[in-house]
Amino acid sequence: MDAIVEEPEPECEFDGPWKEAIEWFFEPFVEFFFPQVYANIDVERGHEFLDKELERIAPDSAKGRGTVDKLAKVWMRDGQEQWLLIHVEVQSQEQSAFAERMYTYNHRLCDKYGTMPVSLAILGDDRLNWRPSEFVAGRWGCEVRFTFPTAKLLEYASREQELTTDRNPFAAVTLAHLKTLETRGDPSARVQWKLALVRSLYDRGFDKRRVRLLFNTIDWIMTLAPTRETIFMNEVHDAEKKQAEPFLYPYQRVLVAQATLKGRNEQAYENIESILDFKYGEAGVALMPRVLQIQDAAALKSLLLFLVIAPDLTAVRERLATKE
Q: What pLDDT is attached to residue 246? A: 62
pLDDT of residue 255: 45
Spatial distance between the Cα atoms of 206 and 199, rounded to a whole number of angstroms: 12
Backbone angles phi, psi at 248, to 5 degrees: -95, -30
CA pair distance 173, 23, nearest whole angstrom: 13
Axis crossing angle, helix 313-321 with helix 265-280, rounded to the nearest 10: 150
Question: Of the spans 152-166, 200-214, 291-305, which averages the highest pLDDT?
Answer: 152-166
Lowest mean pLDDT among 28-32, 204-208, 281-285: 281-285
The answer to whether 304 and 257 are in contact (CB under 8 A) is yes
Amino acid 324: pLDDT? 46
Find out whether 273 and 305 touch, Cβ atoms under 8 Å.
no
CB 204 within 8 A of CB 167: yes
Residue 257 pLDDT class (50, 70, 90 cuts): very low
For residue 156, what is the DSSP state?
G
pLDDT in tens, 161-186: 999 999 999 999 999 999 999 999 89
What is the C-alpha separation between 5 and 24, in angstroms, rounded?
37
CB 206 within 8 A of CB 234: no
* Average pLDDT of the residues in 93-103: 84
Is residue 40 within 8 Å of 120, Cβ to Cβ? no
| Predicted confidence (pLDDT) at residue 265 exceeds the cutoff of 70 | no
pLDDT at 195: 92
C-alpha 19/C-alpha 123 separation (Å) is: 14
pLDDT given for residue 112 in this prediction: 84
Span 41-59, average pLDDT: 84
Q: What local confidence, expressed as pLDDT, does residue 179 receive?
A: 96
Residue 167: what pLDDT?
A: 94
Domain boundaries, the chain: 15-154, 160-321
By the 10 Å C-beta count (0-12 exposed, 13-18 middle, 19+ buried), 52 is classed as exposed
Higher-confidence residue: 83 or 1?
83
The CA distance from 255 to 304, in Å, is 11
Nearest to 89 by CA among 51, 126, 59, 38: 126
pLDDT grade, residue 1 (50/70/90)?
very low
The answer to whether residue 203 scores a pLDDT higher than 80 is: yes
- Note the pLDDT tens digit of each residue in 299-314: 888 888 888 778 788 8
Residues 6+ away with beta carbon under 8 Å from 220: 13, 16, 17, 20, 298, 301, 302
Contact 122, 87 (CB under 8 A): yes
